[in-house]
Structure 1
Amino acid sequence: MINFELYKVFYLTAKSGSLSKAAKELFITQPSVSHSIKLLEDNLGLQLFARTSKGVELTKEGAVLYSYIEQAYNFISLAEVKLSELRNFSSGEIKIGGSDSLCKHYLLPFLESFHEQFPHVQINLVNGTTPEIVKQLKEGKIDMGIVRTPILDDQLQVREGITIQDCFVTGPKYRELSKHRVSLSKLLSYPIILFSRNSSSRKFITRLFQEHGLILEPEIELGSVDLLIEFAKIGFGVSFVTKEFVAKELEEGTLFEVKLDVVIPSTKIGIITLKNMPLSNSAAAFVAKLEKPAD
C-alpha cells in the first residue's frame, strides 16, 4: 500500500526547502517531518534530501521523485477545482496555453465573447511554444492548449479549429517581390526573417524548403509575430507569417504578399486536451465555443 501521507511530507519539504516550513504547513513537529522523510527513504532505499546551511535540498534521486509527485499534486488540485465547478458553473477558472500570436490573433475574439457570457469565470493564459504547451498540459498545469497541427501524441485529444494559410510578406523596400511569382531559391537571396527555432511554424516552413533540396537559414530570428510584422514593414527583409494575422496590413498596403511558385500547404489550429481527462464545465463550454463554426 502506498503511504500518501509520506509523499505529502516529501512534496512540501522539497517545495519549501525547509523542514521547519513543511512542519508549519502540515501542523506537525519538525521531528515528525524528519521521521516521515527517513521512513520514505528507507522504503525506497534511496537518499532524497541533503542538508545544507539554508535547509535541505533534493538529491539527484529526490529530484526525479519530485518531478512525478509534483504532477500528481497538480492533478489532485485540478480535480478539486473541477469538482467545485461542477457545483457552481457561475465561477471557476480556465487555464489555456498558446503562443502569443494565437492568443492575440485567434483566441482574443472567443475570450471576449466567453467573458461576456460567463463574467465570473477566470481565464489565465500561459504563453509558450508547442512543446512547452504539451508539457504543461501533461503536468496538469493547464486545461487545454491552442497549437498548430498536425500534432501526434497518444496522450492527447486533438480537436480541429480553423484552417490557416501561411505566407511570406515584405514591406515597401522589397515590394518588387510581390509583383510576380518567386522561386524558393530566388527568395533565399533576400534577407529572411523567421520565428524562433522551436516554433511549429518555423519547423513547417523549414521542411518545405528541405523537400525542394534547399536549406532555409534566416538572417534574423524573432520571438514574436508582432516583431516579424514590424521588421518586414521597416525593410529588414521578408517575414514568414500567418496570412490571416496580417489581413489588415495587406489591405492597408503596409505589407505585401510574396507569392511563390510552389504551394504552401494550409494548416489547422488545434485544441489539445488530455485524453480520458474530463474538462470542467467552464472549460468544456469554452472548447465548444472554439469548435462552433463561425456564423
Structure 2
Amino acid sequence: MDQQLEVFIAVAEKKNFSRAAEELHMSQPAVSQYIRALEDQIGTRLLERTNKYVKLNKAGEIVYDYAQEITGLYTKMQRLVDDLTNKTSGPLSIGASYTFGEYILPHVIAEMLDEYPLVEPSITIGNTKDIAEAVLKHQLDVGIVEGDFQHDKLMIEPFAEDAMHIVAAPGHPLAGQDQVTPQDLEKEKWIVREVGSGTRTAADNMLKSIGIAPEKMMEFGSIQIIKESVEAGLGISLLSHWAIRKELDMGSLTILPVDSLPFTRKFSIVTSSPYRTKALDTFLSYVTKVSSPGATD
C-alpha cells in the first residue's frame, strides 16, 4: 500500500504530526516529509497547520475519503490472496444495524469462533444508512441491515424475516384489551428510532399500512432506551421480536393485539464486492444458520 496515504490518514485522524508519528513508529520529520511529498503529487495543500492542531482543508477531505477507500480495497485484496493458501482466519470487519447487532450478532460470532478461532472479527453497530455507507467505502467487509433496503452500488441479499410487534407496559390501558384498533393506536404517544434507522423505517411503514399518523412521537437513539421508556409507561413502540424476548419472558413488556400484526421486515446481507474471503464466507454461513430459524419465532 502507498505509505504516503497511510501516513496522511494517520495525521488526519490524530490531528497532530507527533501523535501520528508515534502511532506509525516513525520520526516526526519523516511524517512531515511524506505529507509534503503527497501534497506535491496532488498539486495542492491538504492540511491546515497551526501551533495547536492540524486539520483537513477541502482538498484534504476529498483525499482522506478516497484514501480510506483505497486502503480498504488494498487490505481486502491482500486477504483474498492470502486465502488461496491459508486456513479460515484473519480479520473480518462486520457492521450491523442495531437490532441484529445487539440481539443476534453476538450469538453468531460465539458459534463461529467456537469452530473457527483464528477469525478475528471487529464489530461496528450503527443505523442501516451508516452501515451501508461504510460497506460502500470498503471500511467494512460486510453489513447486516434491516428493512427493504436498496442501493444500486451494493450487493444486497435478503436472508431472513424479522417479526415486529407493538409493545406496551403491562399496566398500559391498551394492554388489557382483547383487540386494539388503529384509532386506539393513533391517540397514543409513540417512541421511535431516528430517521435512517431500519427500525424507524419499519415503524413508518407499519403506521402507513394501517392508515394512521400519530401526532405524539418521541425519537430515541437506541432500542434499549426505547424498551426502558415503554416499560416506564412513556408510550408504545414497534420493536423486533428478537429485541423483546427477555422482556416478554419477564413480563415487563406485553404485545398489543392488533389485526394484521406482527409486521414483518427483512434482514439483508450487504457487500460491495463479489469476492469473499474464507472468513467472510464462514461468517455468512453462520449468519443464515443462527438467525433464520429464530427471526420468525
Give yes or no for TM over 0.5: yes
**Shorter-chain TM-score category?**
0.7 to 0.9
Q: Deviations over 1:235-282 (max 9, x none)?
A: 222122112432343344332211224455411211111133x12101
State which structure, 1 or 2, has the greater radius of gyration over its C-alpha atoms. Answer: 1
Deviates more, 1:260-269 or 1:106-115: 260-269
Residues 88-237 of structure 1: pairs in structure 2 closer than 5 A: 88-174=86-172, 176-210=174-208, 214-237=212-235
Distance in structure 2 (CA, Å) of the matches to 1:7 and 1:251: 52
The answer to whether residue 41 in structure 2 is matched with residue 40 in structure 1 is yes
Structure 1 length normalisation: TM-score?
A: 0.81
CA 1:82 to 1:223, structure 2 compared with 1: closer, same or farther past 3 Å?
same
CA 1:257 to 1:7, structure 2 compared with 1: closer, same or farther past 3 Å?
closer
Q: Deviations over 1:121-168 (max 9, x none)?
A: 112110100011011111222111111131111222222222111111
How many percent identity over aligned positions? 21
Say if 1:17 and 1:56, in contact at 8 Å, map to a contact too.
yes
What secondary structure is seen at the aligned counterpart in 2 of 1:123? strand
Equivalent position of 1:280 in the other structure = 277
Distance in structure 2 (CA, Å) of the matches to 1:90 and 1:260: 47
Distance in structure 1 (CA, Å) of the matches to 2:267 and 2:80: 26
Deviates more, 1:94-103 or 1:210-219: 210-219
Distance in structure 2 (CA, Å) of the matches to 1:28 and 1:121: 37
Distance in structure 2 (CA, Å) of the matches to 1:176 and 1:24: 62
* Equivalent position amino acid for 1:40 in 2: Q
CA 1:12 to 1:254, structure 2 compared with 1: closer, same or farther past 3 Å?
closer
CA 1:34 to 1:248, structure 2 compared with 1: closer, same or farther past 3 Å?
closer
What secondary structure is seen at the aligned counterpart in 1 of 2:140? coil
Structure 2 length normalisation: TM-score?
A: 0.81
Deviates more, 1:192-201 or 1:33-42: 33-42
CA 1:190 to 1:40, structure 2 compared with 1: closer, same or farther past 3 Å?
same
* Equivalent position amino acid for 2:60 in 1: G
* Equivalent position amino acid for 1:91 in 2: S
Gaps of 5+ in 2: none
* Equivalent position amino acid for 1:173 in 2: G
What secondary structure is seen at the aligned counterpart in 2 of 1:165? strand
Distance in structure 2 (CA, Å) of the matches to 1:176 and 1:139: 46
Match of 2:64 among 63, 66, 72: 66
Say if 1:90 and 1:118, in contact at 8 Å, map to a contact too.
yes
Q: Deviations over 1:29-53 (max 9, x none)?
A: 57854662453244xxx44334422
Distance in structure 1 (CA, Å) of the matches to 2:14 and 2:102: 36
How far 1:58 moved relative to its partner? 2.9
Residues 71-86 of structure 1: pairs in structure 2 closer than 5 A: 71-86=69-84
Say if 2:192 and 2:219, in contact at 8 Å, map to a contact too.
yes
Say if 1:95 and 1:123, in contact at 8 Å, map to a contact too.
yes
Equivalent position of 2:286 in the other structure = 289
Say if 1:182 and 1:258, in contact at 8 Å, map to a contact too.
yes
* Equivalent position amino acid for 1:36 in 2: A
RMSD over equivalenced CA pairs, Å: 3.2
CA 1:85 to 1:165, structure 2 compared with 1: closer, same or farther past 3 Å?
same
How far 1:24 moved relative to its partner? 7.5
Distance in structure 2 (CA, Å) of the matches to 1:158 and 1:186: 37
Deviates more, 1:52-61 or 1:188-197: 52-61
User: Matched residue pairs, number?
Assistant: 288
